[in-house]
Amino acid sequence: MTAAVPATELSIETTGLSKRFGHQLAVDGVDLAVPKGSVFGFLGPNGSGKTTTIRLMLGLAVPTGGSVRLLGEDMPRQLHGVLPRVGALVEGPAFYPFLSGAANLHRFDAADPHVPAATRKARVRSALERVGLTHAADKKVRAYSLGMKQRLGIANALLAPRDLLILDEPTNGLDPQGTREVRSLVRSLAADGATVFVSSHLLAEVEQICTHAAIMSAGRLVAQGTLEELRQGGQARIRVVTPDAGTAAEVLSRLGLSAATSPGGAAPGGGGVLYAPLPGAAGNGEAAPEAVVAALVAAGVRVRGFAIEQVSLEDRFVALTGEGFDVVQ
């Protein structure tokens, strides 16, 4: 599953990363390989362990097992050398409500003793400008909307030039316009040469901006690679619409195709729809698709619809993470 990239070319590398909360394994043996320069989507339903993984990467929490390398350095041992090069948004933004947006950024920037104070003002201003908050810079954060806080949180991650950005659900609470802006922001950061690691429970978001993705499910990493590789992981299939589902299933299995009414548990309404792997693919019988239709008709199955479908990334994610995955916006 891991791409064959030399270790030095990985911006993030985790090995067997685990975190236990009481009896629950929130992160379970995760081996992430995030290539340098990629826009890496970290997908998974709510509670699948994305934020916990990010906390482990940033040294906020100590792993129960496994290790993390960030920008080629061991975490948390090299934390002080690595984190200045990393911008992060973790589990939503957090600020001092009684301070203005700009004052909040000043405070966080000043927390790192090694960043130059002389350029602080200019850096705060340009970070605010980058997320479109210039007009609200002097407003108390208490008076910010959720979306404005989210933008300010992203601005905080951009206070200095970064080699790696770790953004946990950056579009949470943003309106469609804000979501588009974040997308273009992520693209421009990547164009500047930074590696961007974005977590999301929204597939559409990842599909639009990412070059690579990994999928988490219940604390485990179930797939990772380029988007193309992930799409290929799923096979094309045939879709049969018929009232005689039972007979059709028999015919299909005689042809060596194992039919299912609901691949991966996702059952579209009505029991009259059957799915089966595309015939001709390795190990899936020899019959051509049209021969399947002929066989069905010959057996007296009332075929009302027949199609060959390319599995979408969405189906693939549903298949990997199970039902309840929030794939639509």
Partner 1 sequence: MLCALAAIPILIAVAVRLSSSVPPGRGPAFLDRITQNGLFVGVTAMLVSVPLFLPLTVGVVAGDTVAGEAGLGTLRYLLVAPAGRVRLLLVKYAGAVAFAVAAPLVVALVGAGIGAALFPVGPVTLLSGDSIGAAEALQRLLLIAAYLAVSLMGLSAIGLFMSTLTDVPVGAMASTVVLSVVSQVLDALPQLEWLHPWLFSHYWLDFADLLRQPIAWESFLTNALLQGGYVAVFGALAYGRFVTKDVLS
Burial of 21 (0-12, 13-18, 19+ CB in 10 A): exposed
> CB atoms < 10 A from the CB of 73, how many?
15
Verify binding: residue 242, Mg ion, rule CB under 5 A.
no
Q: How far is the CB of 21 from Mg ion (least distance, A)?
A: 14
21, 258, 305, 308: residue in contact with ligand ADP (rule CB under 6 A): 21
Give backbone dihedrals phi and psi of 4, rounded to 5 degrees, phi first. -85, 75
2, 8, 46, 145: residue in contact with ligand ADP (rule CB under 6 A): 46
Q: How far is the CB of 89 from ligand ADP (least distance, A)?
A: 12
Q: How far is the CB of 81 from ligand ADP (least distance, A)?
A: 26
Verify binding: residue 18, Mg ion, rule CB under 5 A.
no
Sign of CA dihedral 262, 266, 271, 277: negative
Number of H helices, E strands in the chain: 11, 14
SS3 255: coil
14, 53, 150, 156: residue in contact with partner 1 (rule CB under 8 A): 156
95, 197, 317, 325: residue in contact with partner 1 (rule CB under 8 A): 95
Sign of CA dihedral 269, 318, 91, 51: positive
Q: Which of 37/47 has CB closer to ligand ADP?
A: 47
Binding to Mg ion (CB under 5 A): which residues in 26-55? 51
Verify binding: residue 196, partner 1, rule CB under 8 A.
no
- For residues 223 and 246, what is the distance between their CA atoms, to the nearest angstrom? 33
Using CA atoms in the order 182, 188, 191, 192, what is the torsion angle rounded to 10 degrees? -110
Stretch binding ligand ADP (CB under 6 A), from 39-47, 75-83, 185-193, 311-319 = 39-47
What is the pattern of x (binds partner 1, CB under 8 A) and - over residues 109-128? x-xxx---------------
Q: Which of 38/52 has CB closer to Mg ion?
A: 52
Burial of 260 (0-12, 13-18, 19+ CB in 10 A): middle
- For residues 227 and 299, what is the distance between their CA atoms, to the nearest angstrom? 40
Q: Which does 49 bind (CB under 5 to 8 A by kind): ligand ADP, Mg ion, partner 1, none?
A: ligand ADP
Distances in Å between the Cα of 250 and the Cα atoms of 16, 178, 300 are: 43, 51, 12
Which residues here bind partner 1, judged by CB under 8 A? 55, 58-62, 79-80, 83-84, 86, 88, 90-92, 94-97, 108-109, 111-113, 156
Which residues here bind ligand ADP, judged by CB under 6 A? 21, 26, 44, 46-52
Which residues here bind Mg ion, judged by CB under 5 A? 51
